[in-house]
Every structure is written in C-alpha cells, then in structure tokens.
Amino acid sequence: MSDKIETVKCLIIGSGPAGYTAAIYAARANMFPVLYQGMQPGGQLTTTNEVENFPGYPDGVTGPEMMVQLQEQAKRFGSDIRDGWATKVDFSGDIHKVWINDSIEIHAETVIISTGATAKYLGLSSEQKYLELGGGVSACAICDGFFYRNQEVVVVGAGDSACEEAHYLSNICKKVTMLVRSDKFRASQIMEDRVRKTANIEILMHTETEEVLGDGQVVTGVKVKNRTTGEVTEITATGFFVAIGHKPNTDIFADYLDLDETGYIKNIPGTSKTNIAGVFVGGDAADHVYRQAITAAGTGCMAALDAERYLAAKD
C-alpha cells in the first residue's frame, strides 16, 4: 500500500456512458472529479462496432468512437481521467476509502460507481473470434437486432432474458431459432408461452452449441448437438445472440453496499443513492433491466447531481 493518501471531492470508479457522463456533470459543478477507467476503458460499448440508437448520431457511430468523444468532453471541463481500477474499498466511515491497483489510496467525499456489468458468453473460441470481429455474435438484441432484419438468427438461453431477446428478434428477423440445453425453460411461464406461440420462433430443446460457423469475417451458421441423441447438425444463421445473463462488476463492494441476489447494486428508487451516504451508482452496475447506453448516461447524470446535492447539504 502507498504511504501517500490522495483526497478528492468526487471519485468516479469506471467509465462507459455512465462514468463519462457523471464526470461531465461533476466537472461542470466544480467537483473536480477523478475518474479511473477500469479494466475495460470505455466499458462494454467499446466492443460494439455500430451504435445507431443513441440520440444525436443520425448516421450512427462506432462504440469506441463514441467513448473517445465522451472522454474528451469530460476532459474539456476539467475531469481527471486516469488509467487503473479499484481493487478494494472501505465505506465504513464518513470518508470513503478506495484503493487503486492495490497501491494508490484515495479518500473521497463522494464516490460514483459506474463499473458496469459483463455479458456472459459460452467461451467457445469460434464465438469469441466473431465477437471480436464484430461479425455476428452479440449479447444484446435491442442493440444489434436491426442489423439482422429479415435474416435468420440463433438465440442461446432458457431464461426470461433469452425469451425477451427471441421475441424482440422475431419482430425483425425472418426466423429465430432458440437453443435450450435442458428439457425445460428457466423462464417464467408467461415468457415461455410467448415464444412458443410465436410462429417464426423454432425451439430446440436438449441442444447445445458446438461451434459458431463463419467465412472468416461474418457468421454463416451454428453447429449444434442434441444432448440426448448425440446428433450433430448445422443451422443456417447470420446472427448468434447469447442470452445467458450478465455479471455485474460489483464484487469489491459486497461488504458495504446492498446488492440483489445476482450482484446488482440496489439504489433508492428514483435516485442513484445507495445504502451508504455519499456513495452513488450509475449504469449497468445497478441496471439489470434496460442495459442501454442512453439509460446508462442518464443515470450517470443522476449520480453526479445527487453527489453535488449531497456535498451542498454538508456545507
């Protein structure tokens, strides 16, 4: 641990739309925010090739380009943007203590958490290949479904999220094939009934993905295996949507903040406030429903405004 302690008025942990928006608002309010970008500077959006549903970009924008622009905007107003990630926190006292890279100790009057969540994938090398290429693998139908209009796609998963993704895609795509590993859904009955009643959704039970097929640039199909019969078949598809859940990046806060059963930070409804005074949350670290760039940016704004009001009340 470092012998030197840095004291700041506003510390933002994590970047992405929530973190950078919080930094913009905090800097304009003379809170002199210090932002550590985290393990993945810019967040999940840096893995998205095309963003067409964020207001203000009539011709679309790439995820990395948008994050660079948000970062530069935050810097313009004086935000201190730094490399590094939080490895330990202590929110037990009036001063919020955060350690960066296990070496830098920061004492912050306010903390804004925007550490996001990480989509779960199957871990297949072929899946990761086309995910990195931006060639047809996605974990967000609302984000990317438009690009597969009138095409055939595959959805992996058996929970409510998978059913929601499949149903959303069924309104856009020619055909949706759902792959369910076991003999039953994990989704609520109403969601299962919805996909079963949708004409262009085909459901394959006892089925797991063996390989994502492609031409080296884009997805062309999926090789699947029936876990009961052992039969291996290929499904023609241009999109492969993985809907097996997200893991919020909140482990280091578990001893101090109230989390739900899956690890998302609980905020006081209608605010960004957590159960610890002076600690606020924005973006996907608390949002397991919408998980969109625009909603993350909105809650980042809320967090900065709530932090500003918290400091004003203390003065």
Q: How far are the Cα atoms of 129, 163, 175 from residue 136, in angstroms, in the given order?
A: 10, 19, 15
Is 301 considered catalytic here?
no
pLDDT classification of 198: cutoffs 50, 70, 90: very high
CA dihedral (294, 299, 303, 308) positive or negative: positive
C-alpha closest to that of 147 among 173, 178, 176, 177 = 173
Is 144 considered catalytic here?
yes
Lowest mean pLDDT among 33-42, 129-138, 245-254: 33-42
Can you tell me the mean pLDDT for 45-70? 86
DSSP letter (8 states) at residue 290: -
Which of 80, 90, 140, 258 is flagged as catalytic?
140
Asked if 118 and 284 count as a contact pair (C-beta separation under 8 A), the reply is no
Can you tell me the mean pLDDT for 255-282? 97
Can you tell me the mean pLDDT for 58-75? 93
Can you tell me the mean pLDDT for 199-213? 97
The rounded distance, in Å, linking the Cα atoms of 72 and 298 is 18
Cα separation of the two ends of the chain:
31
Which of 3, 59, 90, 144 is flagged as catalytic?
144
DSSP letters for 213-270:
EESSSSEEEEEEEETTT--EEEEE-SEEEE-S-EEES-GGGTTTS-B-TTSPBP--TT
Can you tell me the mean pLDDT for 231-258? 96
pLDDT classification of 38: cutoffs 50, 70, 90: confident
Is 143 considered catalytic here?
yes
pLDDT classification of 142: cutoffs 50, 70, 90: confident
How much is the pTM? 0.83
Which of 143, 163, 173, 301 is flagged as catalytic?
143
- Name residue, tokens 């958490």: 113
Q: Where are the beta strands (DSSP E) in the chain?
A: 5-13, 34-36, 80-82, 86-90, 96-100, 104-113, 117-119, 137-138, 152-156, 175-179, 201-204, 207-214, 219-226, 232-236, 239-242, 246-248, 279-281
- What pLDDT sits at residue 19? 97
pLDDT classification of 49: cutoffs 50, 70, 90: low
Degrees to nearest 5, angle at CA 299 with 262 and 39: 60
Asked if 52 and 294 count as a contact pair (C-beta separation under 8 A), the reply is no
